[in-house]
């Protein structure tokens, strides 16, 4: 596809936009799916939520405020009466989703012996919202001396609609601010991207030349110079119709491995997913992990070892690894499987491996996975789901067929890790700008946190591939269609999944993992039951867990009802995963 | 005396709206879980529970934000909030190369969030919201400092971070304004942030770095003595003395007591500010805050040292009244701040 000709470029862009919006229009209906922002903080809260508390990061229904207040009071009383409760609540209990205040306080209360707080019959001291007196007051909070002379805002204040200008130019602010040449470069990049969006290929082309000249006067070994270089190359490739450079599966694996070593993003994803899978498998004797992208199986030794250490003994573990076919007659998947089997044998875990070779995830059919109704299934997708969001119109993006078959497997858990960015906006300039910001942050973290070569250089090439794809490709070829958590929540919700919240224990362990990287700058944040890995407070990777929402339909697997009403992972003690940075299997 | 817990809860319920009561009580509950008797702090749980928001370069209600790393070794981060002109479609990246204004003075507020030196961050939702409000109110920029917290980092780390942030702000061409082309800086902070603002202002005055004003919102000061307000209000409106003591033990150098000048700047070990070009101060005291006697003593101390100070005493306000815009004290405060940062003619 070559957007060399301006009208063809416009047509291609329009087609891509139409395809993207036809898949995203369904995702925008319902819920509070954002169009531009990807954090909930500035959304219009649903009308029954207290708007002011929403601005503080808490989702509490106005009608529940009294209930929550009562609970808070009881908890405070209980803690005052017996300070011994505090260590239990602080260290032993697992906390989930603090934004949902009502369930947070209720779960803490349920952790305490019921004798420790006062009988519910005592008046709380708050006016009863259902009493006639309260009704006379309009059901709102009691009016007291400090009533504002200004119009008293309602508890469920709605943030006024912000009119968004049509051509709102998004701002990219990178650490380039401090360097004049940096600002010039970013400015030129934005102008070039904008001309690409308009279909002005000749202007775009001359800007690429200008920027290449600019680059010679700038330090390209680090910072904005380096990142800009990649984006300029990607723009150049786009204008020549080259898209991404073709890459062999072997090359991909090598780059992936170095990216894995150079920075904590993949390790965080693997580690968090494994913790969640371990908890979900608790109590099951036959378990089956389906890995959507096996690569070298780097994620699995740690899980195998953790299962080996289970107090009641390891389960029978089946691992189905999906990966691209090997071109040269080797069966790479099988080789990985053998190595993992060797490891499993060495720790006495009964293990069976199956490789499913497919060049695209959408080519996989559920029957290939041979899921048995007796086993607990974990579906593991590390940076794979976004690849299913693109298509060549008029075909629909494959996500629409893949999510249903995942759900039909009735997995005990689906672990998902995705880049926390919106690189799937229909408008090229928006996508470009967001990617520039995102990858600048990512490259910044590599520079600061990974001085080791060749890991760093190859990790950068790994990321460069992604940049090239986001900037240079369209349609089905553009596979790096990253979307932020809120969009995934909406999409997975519609597909019949509900969240399994990751709690304070997972948070703590992920934080501990980060301390192995001695650089300041990485942090873990909790986002309504999901965990994100941040560099200097910018979320970059989001890890989440899901289960099939209850249904009464007969599924092909023969399961009728999902018996698990609890959307939290089990609290029973599970062995801590050991963090191995030296993976036993040898990598060529 | 702390008194019966239920009585205390009833008292505080009478003076704040329900959602404010829920918000502050929720913080209290969480904070109770985080402080350990041995002086250590459950930082992991604290970070897990804290509601944070990322920066957003897309303007929301006329304000955009971005994070900037000031000092790599300490990881010191500032979150910058900028007002976006009405005609947002004209506003582009190149605006950041220019000063805020070439004709008039535009205030830049260097803000230190509260949290008793141990809690919260610049990207905590409550403080992100507050800073955005300040931008809209003052029509200026706000820079929120993500200073290092105790007990992991004791005095003087937070003050050092404040000083580094001040120097950074003062040297940004794109924060300058006015015909005199300089950064018109005000320092502001609530609770521990107010304490930090004071100390940074002292250092600035000594170094002859100009600060146009200090805004301290129920600043955290204290001393060995137990004041009347501490005894009278202990445990009544969301705050207990023993908690205050814990935070001082966590912040001050080990072995020090509360008459350390970081805690008690005009106490027996305090220093004189006489003759120092210290900025004018707006000190906001909540009438139901147990620390008000210390705050009023601070005001008296400034006066004794010949410094310009205005006391805004909000009789029925509790701590944290400025988090939610649902009470008269909030609006009163906003009006005072707006007038305080207006450039003199």
* CB pair distance less than 8 Å for B331 and A150: yes
Mutate to test the interface with B, among A89, A451, A537, A541 (most CBs of B within 10 A): A537
* CB-CB contact of A163 with A172 (8 Å): no
- Choose between A17 and A400: higher pLDDT: A400
Write out chain A residues lying below 8 Å of B324, CB-based.
52-53, 55-56
Kindly state the average pLDDT of the residues A517-535.
90
Cα gap A359→A323, rounded to integer Å: 7
Band (A45; pLDDT cuts 50, 70, 90): low
To the query of whether residue B272 is one of the catalytic residues in this protein, the response is no
pLDDT at A38 over 70: no
Residue A514: how many other CB atoms lie within 10 Å: 20
Write out chain A residues lying below 8 Å of B66, CB-based.
171, 173
Cα–Cα–Cα angle for B157, B159, B161, rounded to 5 degrees: 70
pLDDT at A516: 83
Residue range A312-354, pLDDT digits in tens: 999 999 999 999 998 777 888 999 999 999 999 999 999 999 9
* CB-CB contact of A204 with A18 (8 Å): no
pLDDT at A114: 67
CATH architecture for residues B22-85+96-341: 3-Layer(aba) Sandwich (3.40)
pLDDT at A221: 84
Average pLDDT of chain B, as a whole number: 92
pLDDT at B314 over 70: yes
Band (A568; pLDDT cuts 50, 70, 90): low
pLDDT at A55 over 70: yes
* CB pair distance less than 8 Å for A75 and B29: yes
Which among B86, B97, B173, B100 has a CA at the least distance from the CA of A173?
B97
* CB-CB contact of B336 with B285 (8 Å): no
Q: What are phi and psi of A425, to 5 degrees?
A: -65, 145
- Choose between A44 and A224: higher pLDDT: A224
What are the CA-CA distances from residue B336 to residues A61, A153, B106 (Å)?
33, 21, 17
Q: Which two tokens stand for residue A234?
A: 């990607």
Mutate to test the interface with A, among B52, B83, B144 (most CBs of A within 10 A): B52
Shortest Cα–Cα distance, B113 to chain A (Å): 14
In A465-495, which positions are buried (b, 16+ CB within 10 angstroms) versus exposed (e)? Answer: bbbbbbbbbbbbebbbbbbbbbbbbbbbbeb
pLDDT at A561: 37
pLDDT at A438 over 90: yes
pLDDT at A7 over 90: no
Cα gap A534→A70, rounded to integer Å: 35
B275 interface with A at CB cutoff 8 Å: no
Residue A451: how many other CB atoms lie within 10 Å: 11
B335 interface with A at CB cutoff 8 Å: no
Query: Is the preceding omega at residue A394 within 30 degrees of 0, hence cis?
Result: yes
Band (A179; pLDDT cuts 50, 70, 90): low
Band (B115; pLDDT cuts 50, 70, 90): very high
- Rg of chain A (C-alpha set): 26
What are the CA-CA distances from residue A377 to residues A227, A407, A557 (Å)?
41, 11, 11
* CB-CB contact of A513 with A541 (8 Å): no
* CB-CB contact of A65 with B19 (8 Å): yes
Choose the closest CB to A37 out of B19, B21, B56: B56
| Reported ipTM exceeds the 0.90 cut | yes
pLDDT at A447: 86
pLDDT at A525 over 60: yes
- Measured N-to-C along each axis, helices A428-449 and A223-239 cross at an angle, to the nearest 10 degrees, of 140
pLDDT at A489 over 80: yes
Band (B98; pLDDT cuts 50, 70, 90): confident
pLDDT at A573 over 80: no
Write out chain B residues lying below 8 Å of A69, CB-based.
13, 18, 21-22, 25
Residue range B70-92, pLDDT digits in tens: 877 777 889 999 998 765 444 45
What are the CA-CA distances from residue A560 to residues A365, A405, A408, A563 (Å)?
22, 16, 11, 9
pLDDT at A375 over 90: yes
- Percentage of residues in chain A having pLDDT higher than 90: 56
Write out chain A residues lying below 8 Å of B126, CB-based.
56-57
The residue extents of the domains of chain B are 22-85+96-341
Write out chain B residues lying below 8 Å of A508, CB-based.
44-45, 48
Asked which of A90-99, A571-580, B256-265 is least confident by mean pLDDT, the reply is: A571-580
* CB-CB contact of B110 with B196 (8 Å): no
A222 interface with B at CB cutoff 8 Å: no
Write out chain A residues lying below 8 Å of B60, CB-based.
37, 42, 162
Cα gap B83→A290, rounded to integer Å: 49
Largest CA distance in chain B: 60
A158 interface with B at CB cutoff 8 Å: no
DSSP string, B45-75: HHHHHS-B----SS-BTTEEEEEEEEETTTT
* CB pair distance less than 8 Å for B331 and A148: yes
Kindly state the average pLDDT of the residues A256-262.
91
pLDDT at A189 over 80: yes
pLDDT at A163 over 80: no
pLDDT at B80: 95
CA A263 remoteness from chain centre: 17
pLDDT at A559 over 90: no
Cα gap A41→A38, rounded to integer Å: 9
Shortest Cα–Cα distance, A322 to chain B (Å): 34
pLDDT at A241 over 70: yes
pLDDT at A219 over 90: no
Question: Exposed, middle or buried: residue B257 (CB in 10 Å: 0-12, 13-18, 19+)?
Answer: middle
- Percentage of residues in chain B having pLDDT higher than 90: 85
Kindly state the average pLDDT of the residues B34-42.
95
Band (A115; pLDDT cuts 50, 70, 90): low
Cα gap B286→B229, rounded to integer Å: 11
* CB pair distance less than 8 Å for B57 and A525: no
Q: Looking at residue A458, what DSSP letter applies?
A: H
Whether pTM > 0.90 for this model: the answer is no
pLDDT at B326 over 80: yes
* CB pair distance less than 8 Å for A177 and B96: yes
Band (A481; pLDDT cuts 50, 70, 90): very high
pLDDT at A209 over 80: yes
Q: Which two tokens stand for residue B337?
A: 């701040």
Average pLDDT of chain A, as a whole number: 79
Cα gap A41→A286, rounded to integer Å: 42
Write out chain A residues lying below 8 Å of B25, CB-based.
69, 72-73, 76
Contacts of A536 (CB under 8 A, 6+ apart): A441, A444, A445, A521, B67, B69, B75, B77
B19 interface with A at CB cutoff 8 Å: yes
A451 interface with B at CB cutoff 8 Å: no
Cα–Cα–Cα angle for B303, B269, B189, rounded to 5 degrees: 55
pLDDT at B162: 97
pLDDT at B276: 94
- Choose between A137 and A295: higher pLDDT: A295
What are the CA-CA distances from residue A67 to residues A98, A126, A129, B22, B49 (Å)?
16, 10, 10, 10, 20
Residue range B124-181, pLDDT digits in tens: 999 999 999 999 999 999 999 999 999 999 999 999 999 999 999 999 999 999 999 9
Kindly state the average pLDDT of the residues A503-517.
90
pLDDT at A128: 45
* CB pair distance less than 8 Å for B49 and A91: no
């Amino acid at each position: 596809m070559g957007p060399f000709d301006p009208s063809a470029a416009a047509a291609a862009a329009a087609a891509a936009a139409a395809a993207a919006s036809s898949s995203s229009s369904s995702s925008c209906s319902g819920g509070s799916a954002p169009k531009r922002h990807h954090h909930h903080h500035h959304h219009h809260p649903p009308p029954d939520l207290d708007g002011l508390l929403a601005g503080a990061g808490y989702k509490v229904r106005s009608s529940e405020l009294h209930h929550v207040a009562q609970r808070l009071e009881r908890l405070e009383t209980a803690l005052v009466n017996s300070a011994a409760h505090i260590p239990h609540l602080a260290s032993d209990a697992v906390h989930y989703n603090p934004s949902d205040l009502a369930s947070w306080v209720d779960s803490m209360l349920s952790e305490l012996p019921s004798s420790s707080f006062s009988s519910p019959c005592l008046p709380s001291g708050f006016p009863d919202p259902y009493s006639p007196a309260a009704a006379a007051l309009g059901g709102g909070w009691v009016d007291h001396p400090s009533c504002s002379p200004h119009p008293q805002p309602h508890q469920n204040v709605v943030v006024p609609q912000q009119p968004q200008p049509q051509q709102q130019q998004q701002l990219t602010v990178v650490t380039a601010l401090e360097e004049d040449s940096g600002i010039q470069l970013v400015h030129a990049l934005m102008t070039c991207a904008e001309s690409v969006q308009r279909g002005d290929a000749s202007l775009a082309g001359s800007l690429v030349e200008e920027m290449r000249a600019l680059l010679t006067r700038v330090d390209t070994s680090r910072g904005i110079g380096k990142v800009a270089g990649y984006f300029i190359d990607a723009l150049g490739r786009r204008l020549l119709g080259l898209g991404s450079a073709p890459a062999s599966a072997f090359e991909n694996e090598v780059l992936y491995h170095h990216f894995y070593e150079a920075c904590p993003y993949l390790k965080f994803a693997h580690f968090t997913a494994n913790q969640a899978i371990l908890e979900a498998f608790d109590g099951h004797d036959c378990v089956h992990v389906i890995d959507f992208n096996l690569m070298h199986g780097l994620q699995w030794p740690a899980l195998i070892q953790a299962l080996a250490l289970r107090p009641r003994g390891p389960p029978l573990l089946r691992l189905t690894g999906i990966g691209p076919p090997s071109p040269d007659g080797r069966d790479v998947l099988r080789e990985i499987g053998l190595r993992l089997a060797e490891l499993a044998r060495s720790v006495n875990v009964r293990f069976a491996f199956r490789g499913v070779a497919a060049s695209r995830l959408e080519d996989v059919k559920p029957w290939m996975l041979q899921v048995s109704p007796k086993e607990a299934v974990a579906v593991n997708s590390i940076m794979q789901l976004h690849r299913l969001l693109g298509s060549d119109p008029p075909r629909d993006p494959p996500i629409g067929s893949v999510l249903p078959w995942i759900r039909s497997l009735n997995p005990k858990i689906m672990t998902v890790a995705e880049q926390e960015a919106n690189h799937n906006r229909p408008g090229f300039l928006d996508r470009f700008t967001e990617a520039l910001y995102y990858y600048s942050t990512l490259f910044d973290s590599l520079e600061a946190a990974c001085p080791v070569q060749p890991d760093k250089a190859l990790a950068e090439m790994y990321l460069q591939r992604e940049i090239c794809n986001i900037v240079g490709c369209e349609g089905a070829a553009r596979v790096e269609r990253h979307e932020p958590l809120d969009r995934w929540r909406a999409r997975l919700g519609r597909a019949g999944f509900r969240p399994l919240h990751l709690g304070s224990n997972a948070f703590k362990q992920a934080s501990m993992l980060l301390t192995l990287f001695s650089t300041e700058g990485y942090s873990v944040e909790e986002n309504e039951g999901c965990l994100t890995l941040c560099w200097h407070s910018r979320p970059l990777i989001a890890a989440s867990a899901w289960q099939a929402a209850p249904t009464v339909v007969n599924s092909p697997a023969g399961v009728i009802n999902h018996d698990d009403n609890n959307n939290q992972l089990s609290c029973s003690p599970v062995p801590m995963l050991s963090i191995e940075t030296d993976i036993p299997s040898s990598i060529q | 005396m702390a008194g019966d817990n239920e009585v205390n809860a009833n008292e505080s319920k009478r003076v704040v709206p329900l959602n404010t009561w829920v918000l502050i009580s929720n913080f209290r509950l969480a904070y109770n879980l985080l402080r350990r008797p041995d002086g250590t702090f459950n930082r992991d749980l604290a970070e897990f529970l804290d509601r944070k928001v990322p920066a957003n370069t897309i303007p929301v209600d006329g304000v955009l934000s971005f994070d900037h790393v000031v000092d790599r070794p300490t990881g010191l981060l500032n979150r910058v909030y900028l007002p976006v002109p009405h005609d947002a479609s004209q506003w582009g990246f190149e605006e950041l190369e220019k000063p805020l204004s070439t004709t008039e003075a535009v205030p830049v507020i260097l803000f230190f969030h509260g949290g008793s030196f141990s809690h919260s961050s610049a990207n905590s939702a409550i403080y992100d919201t507050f800073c955005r409000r300040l931008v809209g109110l003052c029509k200026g920029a706000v820079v929120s400092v993500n200073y290092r917290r105790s007990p992991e980092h004791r005095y003087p780390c937070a003050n050092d971070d404040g000083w580094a942030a001040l120097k950074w702000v003062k040297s940004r061409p794109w924060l300058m304004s006015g015909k005199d082309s300089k950064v018109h800086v005000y320092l502001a902070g609530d609770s521990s942030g107010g304490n930090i603002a004071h100390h940074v202002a002292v250092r600035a005055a000594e170094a002859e770095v100009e600060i146009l004003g200090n805004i301290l919102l129920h600043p955290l000061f204290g001393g060995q003595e137990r004041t009347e307000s501490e005894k009278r209000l202990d445990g009544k409106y969301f705050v207990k003395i023993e908690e205050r003591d814990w935070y001082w033990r966590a912040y001050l150098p080990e072995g020090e007591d509360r008459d350390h000048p970081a805690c008690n700047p005009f106490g027996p070990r305090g220093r004189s500010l006489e003759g120092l070009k210290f900025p004018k101060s707006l000190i906001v005291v909540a009438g139901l805050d147990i620390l008000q006697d210390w705050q009023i003593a601070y005001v008296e101390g400034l006066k004794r040292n010949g410094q310009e100070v205005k006391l805004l005493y909000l009789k029925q306000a509790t701590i944290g009244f400025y988090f939610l815009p649902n009470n008269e004290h909030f609006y009163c405060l906003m009006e005072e701040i707006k007038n305080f940062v207006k450039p003199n003619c």
